[in-house]
């Protein structure tokens, strides 16, 4: 791999990687059972240059911002490289958001350019808010010839020859603006520098290196912090190959493992859990005598790999299991939400380690990772090289808020100095997560101090954003909380949102109000819905500027909710 200490920006590192690994395959794109695209690093360079030339012609200057709004495909990475080559700042947007939410983030990020998939662009142009869009150049991928693009241009039409000027950037220049949340409420754009990403890549590849011949299966969206790093920057810096699927149907994902002999894949805990169910179902179909033999071999593998993963040995002992994963899988990578230890142990006993980690968008990608020395299913691993972690104000059990200091920690929140000062104090990132270190230096998580939940699918949900959907609810006031913030359970997962309602004087909670709450709740995606409510008898505590004192209200709720309970919505 490249020596990233010698580079000042991602664009320069990626440019050199395209030269060094020219003949190696870097990208494979498949749709169901049909392969659509296969590119070498040289092909990738050749295809990306016309787009970089188009940006140059459009007076896209160093430091200008370009948003990408696409599903996983080769054009996502090609566009990202063209932006970095041109000295631009990348703004990865979540294609699963609504058109109005995407327009809000385009406005907040002040993106000069948008690269967008055709079906997503059509949805945006139909939004009532579309008339206010300020983006100067829109490049639409996969648009049919002659399609009405509402001022946009077909990505594929840019074929101008000639090499554009490369724009060098410095380590402290902004590389990306990544939104950890904020749709519908207060946008939280994490401003990440080139140094943040270069140092994150160095830390991750020190423990889990890629090399030419490694194939990484990209299932998480590339805009996701994990996949952006381990499904783009990491593999490319090391000359590895990324496999994109245009479908997530389980049968085609299983086929991809075998067909492309996948080495690594990053999955959210929910998908890992579903994978476990599928494997267990296969085991249950076996005749009793075959199941008995399988159990003996699993037991033997468990005994021989207790202190160290031994991939080759595990493949010899459990060949059919490993053939189902392609025969070369080294690890499943997961993070972003709670991962049940029993699920991790299940896969490790089969010789397929689940590498669990902990991180947040504000810290680039990961702060800790399990180094498998030895495997531990009950922790989120040890701090990565270059990462310092502290436990603030620990209680008698050693549990306190986790604070992090590292070259991977973001510069600031975009246009939000107040929130930045609350989050980064004396150079330490206050994560809002509760944890402690055990005697071997592994980090254990015990819930959240901050009013936020992370779903099983790895989505961040800030209750303040959900409140926008309930704006105008016919009550005196209301406030949405993460239940674990009000009455901490010291555990992650199975969390829900709860609404505290303060009714008007003489107002009764009736079926009409309940129906109104239900209707608004149904406007939200399933994973964002409020799960219950509490009727509060006093006015909410407020600041001099009339903002709700959330922490003070949560403390008051905590004293009474255990007695009154929560009514499910």
pLDDT digits (tens, 9 = 90+) for 473-515: 999 889 998 888 887 765 666 678 899 999 988 898 999 999 9
Provide the whole-model pTM.
Answer: 0.85
Categorize the per-residue pLDDT at 346 as very low, low, confident or very high, splitting at 50, 70 and 90: very high
Convert the pLDDT of each residue in 399-431 to its tens digit. 899 999 999 999 999 999 999 999 999 999 999
Task: Supply the pLDDT for residue 541.
Answer: 86
**What is the pairing mode between strands 25-31 and 241-245?**
parallel
Give the Cα separation of 39 and 37 in Å (integer). 7
- For residues 331 and 315, give the distance between their C-alpha atoms in angstroms, rounded to a whole number: 13
The alpha carbon of 188 is separated from its chain's Cα centroid by a whole number of angstroms, namely 14
Q: Which residues contact 173 (CB under 8 A, 6 or more apart)?
A: 9, 63, 193, 194
Q: Return the ∠ at Cα 118 (arms to 115 and 121), rounded to 5°.
A: 70
Residues linked to residue 188 through DSSP beta bridges, in sequence order: 181
Mean pLDDT of 528-532: 90
Confidence of residue 326 (pLDDT cuts 50, 70, 90): very high
The larger pLDDT score, comparing residue 487 to residue 230, is at 230
Give the mean pLDDT of 72-92.
97
CB-based contacts of 525: which residues, under 8 Å, 6+ apart?
none
Q: Which CATH architecture has domain 268-448?
A: 3-Layer(aba) Sandwich (3.40)
Encoded tokens for 194 = 């080139």
Q: Please, which pLDDT band fits residue 432 given cuts at 50, 70 and 90?
A: confident
**Of 227-231, 397-401, 527-531, 551-555, highest mean pLDDT:** 227-231
Whether residue 205 is predicted with pLDDT greater than 80 in this model: the reply is yes
- How is residue 457 written in tokens? 């699918």
Q: For the chain, what are the domain ranges?
A: 4-265, 268-448, 462-568
Q: What pLDDT, on a 0 to 100 scale, did the predictor assign at position 337?
A: 65
Q: Give me the pLDDT at residue 492, please.
A: 62
Closest to 492 in 3D by CA, of 345, 341, 339, 274? 339
Measured on CA atoms in the order 408, 413, 417, 420, is the torsion positive or negative? negative
Give CA–CA dist 429/431, Å, rounded: 6
Q: Stretch 30-48: mean pLDDT, rounded? A: 94
Q: At residue 59, does pLDDT exceed 90?
A: yes
Q: Indicate the fold that domain 4-265 takes in CATH.
A: Rossmann fold (3.40.50)
Cα(212)–Cα(524) distance, integer angstroms: 43
What whole-number distance in Å separates Cα of residue 419 and Cα of residue 425? 11
What was the pLDDT predicted at 211? 97
Decide if 138 contacts 149 (C-beta within 8 A).
yes
Q: How far apart are CA 65 and CA 353, in angstroms?
A: 39
Same fold, 4-265 and 462-568: no
CA 310 to chain centre: 29
**Class of the 462-568 domain?**
alpha beta
By mean pLDDT, which of 91-95, 247-251, 278-282, 361-365 is the weakest?
247-251
Of 177, 50, 181, residue with least CA distance to 111: 177
pLDDT digits (tens, 9 = 90+) for 108-127: 999 999 999 999 999 999 99
DSSP string, 372-425: -TT--TTS--EEPTT-EEEEES--TTS-EEEEEE-TTS-SEETT-HHHHHHHEE
Residue 106 predicted with pLDDT over 50: yes
Calpha distance 407→391 (Å, rounded): 19
339 or 197: which leads in pLDDT:
197
**Average pLDDT of the chain?**
91
Peptide bond connecting 488 to the previous residue in cis, omega within 30 degrees of 0: no
Taking alpha carbons only, the member of 296, 275, 256 closest to residue 346 is 275
* Tokens 């005196």, located at residue: 476
Q: Return the exposure string of 299-320: e unless at least 16 CB atoms fall within 10 Å of the residue's CB, then b.
A: eebbeebeeebebeebbebbee
């Amino acid at each position: 791999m490249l020596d990233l200490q010698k580079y000042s920006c991602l664009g320069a590192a990626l440019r050199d990687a395209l030269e060094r690994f020219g003949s190696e395959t870097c990208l494979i794109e498949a749709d169901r059972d049909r392969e659509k695209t296969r590119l070498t690093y040289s092909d990738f360079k050749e295809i990306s240059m016309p787009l970089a030339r188009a940006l140059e012609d459009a007076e896209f200057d160093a430091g200008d911002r370009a948003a990408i709004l696409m599903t996983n495909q080769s054009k996502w990475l090609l566009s990202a490289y063209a932006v970095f080559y041109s000295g631009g700042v990348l703004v990865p947007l979540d294609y699963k958001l609504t058109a109005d939410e995407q327009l809000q983030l385009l406005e907040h990020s002040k993106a000069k350019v948008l690269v967008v998939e055709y079906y997503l662009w059509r949805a945006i142009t139909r939004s009532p808010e579309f008339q206010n869009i300020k983006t100067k150049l829109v490049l639409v991928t996969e648009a049919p010839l002659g399609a009405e693009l509402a001022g946009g241009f077909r990505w594929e039409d840019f074929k101008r020859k000639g090499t554009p000027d490369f724009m060098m950037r410095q380590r402290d220049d902004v590389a990306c603006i990544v939104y950890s949340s904020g749709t519908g409420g207060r946008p939280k754009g994490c401003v990440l520098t080139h140094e943040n990403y270069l140092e994150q890549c160095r830390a991750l590849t020190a423990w889990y290196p890629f090399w030419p011949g490694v194939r990484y299966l990209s299932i998480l969206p590339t805009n996701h912090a994990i996949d952006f790093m381990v499904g783009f920057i990491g593999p490319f810096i090391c000359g590895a190959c990324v496999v994109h699927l245009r479908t997530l149907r389980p049968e085609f994902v299983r086929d991809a493992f075998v067909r492309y002999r996948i080495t690594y894949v990053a999955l959210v805990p929910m998908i890992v859990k579903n994978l476990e169910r599928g494997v267990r179902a296969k085991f249950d179909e076996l005749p009793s005598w075959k199941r008995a033999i399988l159990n003996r071999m699993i037991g033997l593998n468990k005994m021989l790999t207790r202190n160290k993963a031994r991939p080759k040995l595990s493949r010899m002992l459990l060949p059919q299991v490993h053939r189902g994963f392609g025969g070369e899988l080294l690890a499943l990578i997961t993070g972003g939400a709670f991962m049940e230890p029993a699920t991790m142990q299940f896969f490790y006993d089969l010789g397929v380690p689940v590498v669990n980690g902990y991180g947040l968008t504000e810290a680039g990608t990961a702060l800790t990772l399990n180094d498998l020395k030895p495997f531990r299913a009950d922790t989120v691993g040890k701090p990565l090289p270059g990462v310092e972690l502290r436990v603030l104000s620990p209680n008698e059990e050693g549990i306190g808020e986790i604070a992090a200091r590292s070259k991977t920690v973001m510069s600031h929140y975009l246009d939000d100095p107040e929130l930045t000062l609350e989050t980064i104090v004396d150079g330490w990132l206050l994560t809002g997560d509760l944890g402690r270190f055990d005697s071997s230096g592994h980090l254990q998580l015990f819930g959240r101090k901050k009013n936020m939940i992370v779903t099983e699918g790895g989505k961040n949900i800030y209750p303040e954003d959900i409140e926008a959907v309930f704006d105008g609810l016919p009550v005196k006031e209301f406030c949405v909380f993460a239940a674990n913030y009000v009455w901490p359970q010291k555990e992650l997962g199975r969390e829900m949102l709860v609404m505290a309602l303060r009714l008007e004087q003489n107002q009764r909670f009736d079926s009409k109000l309940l129906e109104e709450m239900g209707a608004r709740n149904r406007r939200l995606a399933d994973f964002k819905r409020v799960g219950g409510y509490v009727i509060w008898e006093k006015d909410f505590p407020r600041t001099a500027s009339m903002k709700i004192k959330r922490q003070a209200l949560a403390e008051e709720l905590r004293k009474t909710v255990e007695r009154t309970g929560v009514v499910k919505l």
